[in-house]
Each structure stands twice: as structure tokens, then as C-alpha cells.
Amino acid sequence: MILQHDNSVKPFFLSLAPLRGFTNALYRNLYAVHFQGIDTAIAPFINTLSAKQINRSHIKDILPENNHGMSVVPQIIGNDSEGFIQLATMCHDLGFDTVNWNLGCPAPMVANKRRGSGLLPHPESIEAFLDDVLPRIPTRLSIKTRIGRKKKEEIFKLLPIFNQYPLVELIIHPRTGVQMYTGEVDLSTFEECLPLLKIPVTYNGDIHDYDSFVKLRERFKTVSRWLIGRGVLSNPFLPEILRSGEENIPRSVERFKNFHDDLFEAYRAELSGQSHLIDKMKSYWLYFFRSFENGEILFKKIKKISTLKKYEDITGNFLGGDAIWRCSGRPALSIHPSNSACL
Ligand SMILES: Cc1cc2nc3c(=O)[nH]c(=O)nc-3n(C[C@H](O)[C@H](O)[C@H](O)COP(=O)(O)O)c2cc1C
């Protein structure tokens, strides 16, 4: 619940976005131990494969025994309906009642094969896929989409198609695929979509702080579902802040340190070789540093680290001593990850 400027209390539903390489089961489990405010998480995508190739390691991230404390929706990427049906059925057998179809991934390697956002210019393929799949899967279906692959107008051919099906929700990240993560989110196009949709809509994109969230809520009054990715990665207190309206989180550095130390130890147990572990933690610091005063200076040092001893010394000294949380929850820099990542 959140107290709005007009003093009315309105509920909203907050989901953790799938961020491949980051919001995996290991992260989600620890997040649920240390922080609050997320209702559910969409897991990073799983590729459709032929029945012979699917084994438990392929779906390790969503296995119930690997997930504790956070409700999860598996996400599937692919354009072959048989593979999708097999995976969705497997998810159902594991106890999931909903799966999400990824129509947003912009990575050229994915999109050029007409998967993820690569399907968006082909409404007839999307319709045929949904016609084939929906009657044959035992789960419900939600979809995560961008507004187009190359052009924002693509979404308007898709909305009447989505409306034909009993989708749980349509999550819209209002960028095109070719935009990757550059440029602004296209709020006007998102706004135009709203009256055209008969299914529940979730907004996703660039929610980094309380003020940006309040502005979006005020503009899109009919939207009550929100999906947040990099904002949470950078500031894991963000869901608590959005729910309470209170930007000063007591003991934030201490709480963050406890989370960080658990994350580090969990990856130490999972990854073999110190360089894998260091690289993994560096990738998280690409986001973490933004929530600290002088985080840029720290991040420059972290980027140069090549031994675990150095990593533990530098982060330990910082989090145990000098660190000051940017209390507004507002990252100093805009968050645009490298476009080379498979997003
Ligand atoms: C490193 C990274 C990995 C991502 N992995 C996925 C993914 O597996 N599935 C997906 O639908 N979106 C993925 N995305 C997109 C996010 O879920 C989200 O749509 C995007 O980051 C915009 O939301 P945000 O501004 O709140 O981060 C990824 C994004 C990033 C930066």
C-alpha cells in the first residue's frame, strides 16, 4: 500500500523483472531474506528445446528445491510451439500455474532468429503461435513485450491479437528492440495502448526512484501492476521505498553489507575458480555502486581487482567503514547497461 499525494491509499502489485545473469534463484532467495516489497519475480528466460534436450539442469533456476521465499513465474523464450508446450507442461508439473512468454529480448542473436522482440514485426506468427499453444498448455500465460522490434507502431497490430486470449497480464517495456536500453522509454505510446487493451497491463521500464514511480502512477491511473529490474538491482531497498514513501532506510549500509556478503558466499560456493567469482561480483557492482556516495570511485577500484583477497579487502573496508548510502534512493547516473549483454 502506498500513500498517494491525494492521501488515498491504493494498492499495487510489484514484480521483480527477469535479469539474466543477475536475478537468478540464488539472488532471489537471498533478496527475500534481506529485503521486502516484491510480490513475485519473473525468472530469467529459459530457451525452448526439443524434448530430448530438456533435462533438470536446463530448468535448474526454477526448480522448487532451488527457490525459497519468493513466488516465481518461469519465463520461456522461443517461437516453436511444441517446445513451448513441453516446457510449460514441465513447469506445471513442478507446481507453477503461470508461465511468461518473452517477446522482448532485443539481442540480435535472439531477435534475428525471430525470437523475443524479433517476433514483433510478425503478428501473424504470434497469432498462430498463441492459437496453437494456449489450448494445449496446462498453465495460464502472461506475455512480456516491447512496443516493437524496429518501429513503435508494431504494437498496435499486436494489441487486437493479444486481446483475443485470456492472458494473465501483458507486461509492456515501452522501448523498441533496436533501441536496446538507449534513449527514453516511450510513455506516449504506452499511454495510447492502455485504452486499447482488455487484459491487465503491467508497466516496465526505468523506475529508479520514488519520484519517477509517483509520476508514472499519477499519469497511468488505471495501471496497478509494475515490474522493476535495474532499479532494484542498484537499490534493493527500492520496493520498500515505493511502498512506504520513506526514502531514508535505517541501517541501509549494514543491511546491504549483510546481503552482499551472503551473495558473495553463495557465489563462492557455486562458482569454480576465483576469476569467475570476481567477474560475477564485478557485474553486480556495475549496479550496486550507484547507490553509494562516491560509488564511482569505488567502482573504478573494483574494476581493477584481480584477486579474491583484494576484492574482500576493498569491499569489506568500504562497506564496513566509509560507505554512505545515497538516501534518496536516486542513483547518481542513469542506468544503461552495456548493450552487448544478452538482454
Ligand atoms: C542484464 C539484463 C538481463 C535481462 N534479462 C532478461 C530476461 O531474461 N528476460 C526478459 O524478459 N527481460 C530481460 N531483461 C529486461 C528486463 O527484464 C527489463 O525489461 C528491462 O531491464 C527494463 O526494466 P528496468 O528499467 O526496470 O530495468 C534484461 C535486462 C538486463 C539489463
129-152 tens-digit pLDDT: 999 999 999 999 999 999 999 999
The CA 8 to ligand 1 mean position distance, Å, reads: 31
* pLDDT band per the 50, 70, 90 thresholds, residue 10: low
Whether the predicted model's global pTM rises above the 0.75 cut? yes
Domain boundary, last residue among 225, 244, 263 = 244
43 to each of 108, 146, 272, 317, how far by Cα in Å?
21, 17, 23, 33
Question: Do both 263 and 199 map to the same domain?
Answer: no
55 to each of 50, 146, 270, how far by Cα in Å?
10, 30, 19
Nearest of 286, 309, 168, 146 to residue 225 by alpha carbon? 168
Question: Do both 137 and 286 map to the same domain?
Answer: no
The CA 147 to ligand 1 mean position distance, Å, reads: 14
11 to each of 171, 185, 200, 217, 237, how far by Cα in Å?
18, 24, 15, 11, 18
104 to each of 139, 241, 254, how far by Cα in Å?
21, 28, 36
* 339 inside domain: no
Domain that holds residue 307: 252-322
CA distance 324 to 336: 23
At 228, give phi and psi (nearest 5°).
-130, 135
Please choose from 230, 242, 287, 340 the residue to mutate so as to test ligand 1's pocket, defined by most ligand atoms within 8 A of CB: 230
CATH of the domain at 102: 3.20.20.70
Does 121 sit in the ligand 1 pocket, CB within 6 Å?
no
The CA 290 to ligand 1 mean position distance, Å, reads: 18
Question: Do both 228 and 280 map to the same domain?
Answer: no
Could you report the per-residue pLDDT of 73-96, keeping only the tens digit for each? 999 999 999 999 999 999 999 999
More confident: 58 or 174: 174
Question: Do both 234 and 282 map to the same domain?
Answer: no
Could you report the per-residue pLDDT of 217-240, keeping only the tens digit for each? 999 999 999 999 999 999 999 999
Over its C-alpha atoms, the chain yields an Rg (Å, rounded) of 20
pLDDT above 50 (res 341): no
Question: Do both 136 and 81 map to the same domain?
Answer: yes
Does 144 sit in the ligand 1 pocket, CB within 6 Å?
yes
Write the burial class of residue 338 (CB in 10 Å: 0-12 exposed, 13-18 middle, 19+ buried): exposed
> Residue 65: what pLDDT?
97
CA distance 141 to 158: 16
Question: Do both 171 and 257 map to the same domain?
Answer: no
Write the burial class of residue 242 (CB in 10 Å: 0-12 exposed, 13-18 middle, 19+ buried): buried
Nearest of 337, 283, 288 to residue 305 by alpha carbon? 283
Number of structural domains, the chain?
Answer: 2
Question: Do both 271 and 187 map to the same domain?
Answer: no
Does 231 sit in the ligand 1 pocket, CB within 6 Å?
yes
205 to each of 24, 146, 158, 172, how far by Cα in Å?
19, 10, 20, 8
Does 146 sit in the ligand 1 pocket, CB within 6 Å?
no
The CA 6 to ligand 1 mean position distance, Å, reads: 32
| Atom 23 (ligand 1) nearest CA | 205
Q: How would you classify the pairing of strands 201-204 and 140-148? A: unpaired
Domain boundary, last residue among 244, 263, 287 = 244
| Atom 3 (ligand 1) nearest CA | 19
* 157 inside domain: yes
* 329 inside domain: no
Does 341 sit in the ligand 1 pocket, CB within 6 Å?
yes
* pLDDT band per the 50, 70, 90 thresholds, residue 247: confident
* pLDDT band per the 50, 70, 90 thresholds, residue 286: very high
CA distance 205 to 343: 13
Mean pLDDT of the residues in the chain: 92
* 101 inside domain: yes
Q: How would you classify the pairing of strands 13-16 and 9-10? A: unpaired
* pLDDT band per the 50, 70, 90 thresholds, residue 3: very low
Domain boundary, last residue among 184, 214, 244 = 244
Question: Do both 90 and 221 map to the same domain?
Answer: yes
Nearest of 278, 254, 190, 207 to residue 37 by alpha carbon? 207
Question: Do both 216 and 284 map to the same domain?
Answer: no
Does 175 sit in the ligand 1 pocket, CB within 6 Å?
no
The CA 83 to ligand 1 mean position distance, Å, reads: 23
Atom in ligand 1 nearest the alpha carbon of residue 232: 26
CA distance 134 to 296: 48
